[in-house]
């Protein structure tokens, strides 16, 4: 079997420490917030996979359509010998790129979940003899040191996840990516596009209630990990379109006045009836806006591809 290396850049207690910090700062702030990364325990990840198969949720299908249609062009333009994927998860969509890159030497999946990285690597290596995999257990929202692998590199950030970062966070993230690009390296970025409000809201508030269960799962995570007593049944899932900021907000709205105790933080949090807890921002983009943000980070947008319906985009950028 081809080489498989795994490097841990996160301390063993990093996830617990980050959760504690995020919950304390988010639930004592105004408005109250929690970062969307805490949706994704094992159950939350399963729920998200269910969401991607819903009729209302178009981004996954649209992105896959572009990858299948344009993988050869992406491969030719990047000439990548190393493929780095941020937030790789199961590496399912990346297979289209792996198949299209004839000169690929090393795949570097980056994720906070060691089990996801190991499982994906085992599957890939069984299918692709000759491929080297160097997995990184790391948080891509922080600066990471990439392994010494052959260039050119293609850094891939799919799924529209960049939209979960607030504008200031996005600028920091894109600059961090740019700092890790050498001349000839590229960034492939997935972005969901601005469209009509009804389509957007339905994508985050499906008729079957799967997204509502996914949203409430963050409360289950906090209950389990920090000894909290959130009653998920007393919160309503809300998805709203903000036309000025051009983003979707997912919120959990208290059905009644509540007092929540978080034992491990020695924290008591009051919710008024109707008060919202923001759990996700999902920004939607326009081509010119993506071009401007990439330029501010020191990258040049070279290629822009959309699905047939113009709902989602992949952009290929290179270091200036």
Residue carrying the six token digits 């289950």: 220
CA angle 120, 217, 269 (to 5 degrees): 135
d(CA 230, CA 214): 15
d(CA 33, CA 49): 24
Whole-prediction pTM: 0.93
Beta-bridge partner residues of 237? 252
Q: What is the pLDDT of residue 118?
A: 87
List the beta strands (DSSP E) in 118-234: 132-137, 153-157, 186-192
Q: Are 105 and 81 in contact (CB under 8 A)?
A: yes
Mean pLDDT in residue range 286-294: 98
Q: What is the CATH number of domain 59-195+286-319?
A: 3.40.50.150
Q: Are 120 and 109 in contact (CB under 8 A)?
A: yes
Give me the phi and psi of 137, to 5 degrees please. -85, 100
Domain boundaries, the chain: 27-56+198-283, 59-195+286-319
Mean pLDDT in residue range 294-300: 97
d(CA 218, CA 80): 37
Cβ neighbourhood burial of 267 (10 Å; 0-12, 13-18, 19+): middle
Q: What is the pLDDT of residue 116?
A: 81
Residue 159 — left, alpha, or beta (φ > 0 → left; ψ -120 to 50 → alpha)?
left
Cβ neighbourhood burial of 157 (10 Å; 0-12, 13-18, 19+): buried
Helix pair angle (210-226, 14-27), 10° resolution = 110
List the beta strands (DSSP E) in 52-204: 82-86, 106-111, 132-137, 153-157, 186-192
What is the band of 2 on the pLDDT scale with cuts at 50, 70, 90?
low
pLDDT tens for 56-88 read 999 999 999 999 999 999 999 999 999 999 988
What is the band of 1 on the pLDDT scale with cuts at 50, 70, 90?
very low
Q: Are 163 and 203 in contact (CB under 8 A)?
A: no
Residue carrying the six token digits 């759990």: 279
d(CA 2, CA 121): 10
Tokens of 13: 């207690």
What is the band of 220 on the pLDDT scale with cuts at 50, 70, 90?
very high
Q: Are 108 and 146 in contact (CB under 8 A)?
A: yes
What is the band of 198 on the pLDDT scale with cuts at 50, 70, 90?
very high
Q: Are 163 and 189 in contact (CB under 8 A)?
A: no
């Amino acid at each position: 079997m081809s080489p498989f290396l795994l490097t841990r850049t996160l301390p063993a207690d990093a996830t617990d420490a980050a959760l504690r910090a995020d919950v304390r700062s988010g639930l004592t702030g105004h408005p109250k917030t929690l970062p969307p990364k805490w949706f994704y325990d094992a159950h939350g990840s399963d729920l998200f996979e269910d969401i991607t198969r819903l009729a209302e949720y178009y981004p996954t299908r649209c992105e896959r359509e572009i990858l299948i249609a344009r993988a050869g062009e992406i491969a030719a333009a990047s000439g990548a010998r190393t493929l780095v994927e941020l937030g790789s998860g199961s590496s399912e969509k990346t297979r289209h790129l792996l198949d299209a890159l004839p000169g690929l030497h090393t795949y570097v999946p980056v994720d906070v979940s060691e089990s996801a990285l190991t499982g994906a690597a085992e599957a890939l290596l069984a299918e692709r003899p000759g491929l080297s995999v160097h997995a990184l257990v790391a948080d891509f929202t922080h600066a990471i040191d990439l392994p010494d692998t052959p260039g050119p590199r293609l850094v891939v950030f799919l799924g529209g996840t960049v939209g979960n970062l607030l504008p200031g966070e996005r600028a920091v993230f894109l600059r961090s990516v740019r700092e890790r690009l050498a001349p000839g390296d590229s960034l492939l970025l997935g972005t969901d596009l601005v469209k009509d409000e009804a389509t957007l809201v339905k994508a985050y508030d499906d008729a079957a209630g799967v997204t509502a269960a996914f949203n409430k799962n963050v409360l289950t995570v906090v209950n389990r990990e920090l000894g909290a007593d959130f009653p998920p049944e007393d919160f309503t899932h809300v998805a709203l379109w903000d036309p000025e900021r051009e983003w979707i907000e997912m919120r959990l709205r208290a059905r009644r006045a509540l007092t929540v105790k978080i034992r491990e933080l020695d924290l008591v949090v009051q919710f008024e009836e109707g008060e919202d807890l923001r759990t996700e921002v999902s920004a939607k983009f326009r081509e010119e806006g993506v071009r401007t943000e990439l330029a501010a980070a020191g990258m040049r947008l070279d290629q822009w591809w959309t699905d047939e319906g113009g709902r989602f985009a992949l952009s290929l950028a290179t270091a200036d």
